[in-house]
């Protein structure tokens, strides 16, 4: 059943699984807009099963408004992307968490 979840539903479940009474008070998930336009996502990894994993910077460029940059740094999974790439970006996080470190 988990495989049939869309990216946002999967992220909700991942976030909920991290919430242990402490984690959610210090860490979390932030999704914000960019002015170029686009999105930025920051997902805290500290005290999660993937805290020690690293993902080198990954860039996907298809056009002026169709792009993704994803990487880990400073204990976070980070994404910047075009205005129509938020779901795809969350899918990269999902694939990384469920597939293991590269």
Q: How many domains does the chain have?
A: 1
User: What pLDDT score was predicted for residue 2?
Assistant: 53
Neighbours of 94 (CB within 10 A): 16
Summarised one tens digit per residue, pLDDT across range 25-81 is 999 999 999 999 999 999 999 999 999 999 999 999 999 999 999 999 999 999 999
Neighbours of 7 (CB within 10 A): 17
Do 27 and 44 contact (CB within 8 A), yes or no?
yes
Higher-confidence residue of 3 and 56: namely 56
Residue 49's closest CA among 92, 17, 8? 17
Confidence of residue 102 (pLDDT cuts 50, 70, 90): low
> The domain containing residue 29 runs over which residues?
2-99
Q: Does the pTM exceed 0.85?
A: yes
User: What pLDDT score was predicted for residue 1?
Assistant: 45
Neighbours of 66 (CB within 10 A): 14
């Amino acid at each position: 059943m988990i495989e049939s979840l869309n990216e946002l539903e999967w992220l909700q479940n991942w976030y909920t699984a991290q919430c242990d009474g402490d984690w959610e008070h210090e860490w979390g998930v932030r999704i914000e807009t960019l002015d170029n336009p686009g999105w930025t996502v920051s997902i805290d990894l500290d005290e999660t099963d993937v805290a020690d994993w690293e993902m080198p910077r990954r860039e996907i460029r298809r056009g002026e408004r169709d792009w993704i940059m994803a990487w880990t740094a400073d204990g976070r999974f980070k994404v910047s992307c075009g205005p129509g790439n938020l779901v795809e970006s969350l899918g990269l996080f999902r694939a990384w968490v469920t597939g293991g470190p590269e």
